[in-house]
């Protein structure tokens, strides 16, 4: 073998004198001592455009190369082999599935029969008891062992317990012990007082006043504003900044003459209300044309005072002069606020 290897190396060295001996030796070892393969590899190293004869596919008459034909044949053989193995394994798989189904059926039948036997057979009292307590006497055999006194006390205890439960159920029906638990509640006395009846809450009914009570601008209830009230909005600067602001109506305190009362009355009025008064023909006609719900309390009283005087009824309210006199008397403490003389 060594002589053959040295001869092959010599031939390679003679064919490729420019290549080092070590390279030739390594190429020969990689190709397992085959001379043709090592020559092809050395030619490929020296000439990159070189192609070996084995790598060039041979084209047949049908247009299919020899390498592709070999690949197709090998694929066909592999497919036939796999199909044959699958045909062999299919019956084995079927048998395994059938066996698994049979075993599950058997187990289910056994489980069903056991359950049926347990339900049908009478229950054994000593089945769940421990062996050390199996041969003890029953409740009936306890009385001669413990004595007659014990049996009497036990019976009395049972009777008391039954009576207490009856009382509790009665109280539950009445609604006294509905929130509690029955087994912890034992009343001290047989009779419990009935709970007091809850009196229904009486809703306070607000008295409806004939004049207007609610208003967005409460100041309008004291005078004649003709629907004018405060307005809300934004004040916008040059740069578009917005700040909240209000617009109050133009209100003037004016003394208006009343023909029915024959006196001048100071009232807070807006310019719109004055225009409407001029159209109507004075304060009296304006107030009489207004609805009661559109007027505040002072204007409502003034309206009905004018209406009474126009009907010919006496004026109940004091005049301005009388009011001034009362103020002076109160100021100098000649009269108390109620109008009664100060005796002291």
The 10s digit of each residue's pLDDT in 331-341 is 776 555 555 44
Place of tokens 């290549």: 19
pLDDT tens, 134-190?
Answer: 555 554 444 444 455 556 666 676 676 666 666 655 555 555 444 544 444 445 555
Distance (Å, rounded) from C-alpha 230 to C-alpha 220?
A: 9
Structure-model confidence comparison of residues 247 and 99, the more confident one: 247
Residue 41's pLDDT band (boundaries 50, 70, 90)? confident
Bigger pLDDT: 264 or 214? Answer: 264
Higher pLDDT, 64 or 261: 261
Using a pLDDT cut of 90, give the percent of the chain over it: 25
Q: Which residues of 320-343 are buried (b: 16+ CB within 10 A; e: fewer)?
A: eeeeeeeeeeeeeeebeeeeeeee
User: Cβ-count burial of 295 within 10 angstroms (0-12 exposed, 13-18 middle, 19+ buried)?
Assistant: buried
Model pLDDT, residue 161: 66
Residue 256 — very low, low, confident or very high, per pLDDT cuts 50/70/90? very high
pLDDT at 277 over 70: yes
Average pLDDT of every residue of the chain: 76
What is the per-residue pLDDT across 218-237, written as a single tens digit (0 to 9) for each? Answer: 899 999 999 898 999 999 99
Lowest mean pLDDT among 21-30, 55-64, 100-109: 55-64
Residues 44-101 have pLDDT tens digits of 776 655 555 544 444 444 454 556 777 887 788 788 777 887 777 788 888 888 888 8
Q: What is the largest CA-CA distance in the chain?
A: 163
Q: Is 227 helix (H, G, I), strand (E, B) or coil?
A: coil
| pLDDT for residue 172 | 54
**pLDDT at residue 52, rounded to an integer:** 55
53 or 27, greater pLDDT: 27
Would you tell me the crossing angle of helices 35-46 and 21-30 to the nearest 10 degrees?
130
Which is more confident, 158 or 274? 274
Report, as an integer, the average pLDDT of 112-141: 61
Residue 90 near residue 98 (C-beta atoms within 8 A): no
Between CA 231 and CA 219 the distance in angstroms is 13
Looking up tokens 């409502």 gives 300
> Running DSSP on this structure, what letter comes out for residue 178?
S
0.85 surpassed by pTM? no
């Amino acid at each position: 073998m060594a002589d053959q290897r040295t001869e092959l190396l010599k031939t390679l060295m003679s064919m490729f004198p420019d290549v080092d001996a070590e390279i030739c030796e390594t190429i020969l070892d990689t190709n397992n001592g085959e001379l043709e393969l090592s020559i092809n590899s050395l030619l490929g190293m020296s000439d990159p455009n070189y192609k070996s004869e084995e790598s060039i596919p041979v084209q047949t008459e049908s247009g299919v190369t020899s390498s592709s034909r070999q690949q197709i044949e090998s694929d066909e053989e592999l497919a036939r082999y796999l199909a044959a193995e699958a045909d062999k394994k299919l019956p084995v798989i079927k048998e395994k599935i059938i066996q698994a189904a049979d075993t599950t059926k058997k187990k289910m039948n056994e489980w069903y029969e056991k359950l049926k036997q347990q339900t049908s057979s009478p229950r054994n009292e000593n089945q769940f008891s421990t062996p050390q307590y199996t041969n003890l006497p029953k409740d009936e055999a306890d009385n001669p062992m413990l004595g007659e006194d014990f049996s009497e006390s036990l019976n009395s205890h049972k009777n008391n317990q039954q009576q207490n439960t009856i009382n509790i159920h009665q109280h539950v029906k009445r609604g006294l012990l509905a929130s509690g638990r029955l087994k912890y509640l034992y009343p001290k006395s047989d009779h419990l007082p009935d709970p007091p009846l809850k009196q229904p809450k009486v809703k306070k009914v607000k008295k409806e006043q004939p004049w207007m009570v609610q208003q967005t601008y409460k100041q309008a209830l004291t005078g004649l504003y003709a629907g004018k009230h405060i307005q809300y909005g934004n004040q916008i600067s040059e740069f578009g900044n917005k700040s909240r602001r209000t617009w109050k109506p133009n209100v003037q305190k004016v003394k208006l003459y009343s023909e029915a009362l024959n006196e001048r009355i100071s009232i807070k009025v807006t310019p719109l209300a004055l225009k409407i008064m001029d159209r109507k023909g004075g304060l009296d006609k304006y107030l009489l044309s207004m609805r009661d719900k559109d007027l505040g309390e002072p204007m409502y009283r003034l309206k009905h005072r004018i209406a009474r005087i126009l009907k010919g009824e006496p004026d109940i309210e004091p005049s301005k002069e009388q009011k001034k006199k009362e103020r002076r008397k109160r100021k100098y403490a000649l009269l108390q606020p109620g109008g009664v003389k100060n005796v002291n």
